[in-house]
Each structure stands twice: as C-alpha cells, then as structure tokens.
Amino acid sequence: MASLLDLSLAQHFAVIFALLFIFVVVYAILQYTKFLEADKNVHALIAFIVAFLFILSPQAINAVTNFAPWFTMFFVFATFFIAAYTLFGIKTEDIAKVIKHPTAAWTLGILAFVVGAAAIGAAFGQTFLEFGAKAGIPGVTEPGEITDLPINTTAGYVANVQRTLFDPKVIGLFFVMAIAIATIKLLAGKAIA
C-alpha cells in the first residue's frame, strides 16, 4: 500500500540529486572564493563539469547521497535556531559574531569532517576492505612465519568499524585522551568552555 512517507521512488533520482547537490556546492564555493576572477558563467561551467565527473562513479553518488541528508538537516536546524533566537530579540549581528567565532568554526568543521568521513566510509569502505587480507586467511608477518588473522575480523565493513569503535581498548583510549585534553586546558589557565 502506498503512503506519503514511502520514498522508495526517490532512489531512482539519486543521480539527479547528487548532480544538483555537487553543482550547487561547487558553484557556491567558486563564487565565494572568486576563483580565477571569472564570471558566473565560467563558475557554472566548472561546477557542472565537476558534478558530471562526480556522477560517473556509483560509489561517489553513494557518498553524496549519504552526506546530503545530514548536510540538509544541519542547515534546516540552523535556520530554525537562528529564527528562534531572532524571535527572542537577539540581533543578527550578535548571531553572526558567534558563528564567526573560532570555536564555532572548529566545531562545525569537525562535525562536517566526521559526517563526510562516515559517508565516504559507507561508500568506499567495503571495497577498501576487499583489497586487504580476507578474514580467516593466514597472513605472513615475517619471512617463514605464518599467523592467523584475529578472530574479530569479519567480511563486513560496518561490523568491523563497530567492533573497532566499541572495543574496550579504543574506548579507554578516548577516555584517556579526553582527560589529557581537559588537563592541558586547565593547566594552561583557561577554563573549559
């Protein structure tokens, strides 16, 4: 039965969505940076060529379709937050000052990097995994010494990432790093923001 929330037909338009998304992002970057001091038509042509080259790879389309919803959701929520702050009487100049602060820029940059890395990992991770050693196949560490791969290796990329991130040693490393960062920040004389 068809419903309003059924978006299975939209997957057939993923190529068009990816083309438009890449075109808009590249065009905006070219316009903002004033690349080559060229006019808008040259920027549009360059953006279209980059977008067209992007859609030639199905894995690149997959990466874009994994990244685009997060990108869109971020801008929708940012717009709502800015609208809510302006409704409560905060001036747009003050909001712009907060957004341009280095802490906000670093936070947004790190979030964009994490989402981008996750999207690229989801698109290309399995193919990178297939280039490496297969699970259960012995490997050679030194001349004449054959060892088995660890038991927790699997053929699935997502399962390997989950096992790595939730391994007790990795969680302990994150915890120790968080303590080290807080200690350095406190010893430097600045309070944690």
Decide if 9 is inside a domain: no
Looking at the 3D structure of the chain, how many domains does it have?
A: 1
Distance CA(10)–CA(191), nearest Å, equals 48
Per-residue pLDDT of the chain (193 residues; tens, 9 = 90+): 556 656 676 677 788 888 998 999 999 999 988 877 878 889 999 999 999 998 898 888 888 888 888 888 888 998 998 899 899 988 888 888 888 888 888 888 888 888 888 888 888 877 766 665 554 455 555 565 655 555 455 667 777 778 888 888 989 999 999 999 889 888 887 555 5
Distance CA(162)–CA(174), nearest Å, equals 15
Sole residue written with tokens 């297939």: 130
98, 104 contact by CB (below 8 A): yes
Distance CA(66)–CA(70), nearest Å, equals 8
Decide if 159 is inside a domain: no
Distance CA(76)–CA(46), nearest Å, equals 27
Decide if 1 is inside a domain: no
Decide if 29 is inside a domain: yes
User: Is this structure's pTM higher than 0.85?
Assistant: no
Decide if 124 is inside a domain: yes
Decide if 28 is inside a domain: yes
Q: Which domain holds residue 31?
A: 16-152
Decide if 134 is inside a domain: yes
What are the DSSP calls for 65-125, one per residue? HHHHHHHHHHHHHHHHHHHHHHHTT--HHHHHHHHTSHHHHHHHHHHHHHHHHHHHHHHHH
Decide if 183 is inside a domain: no
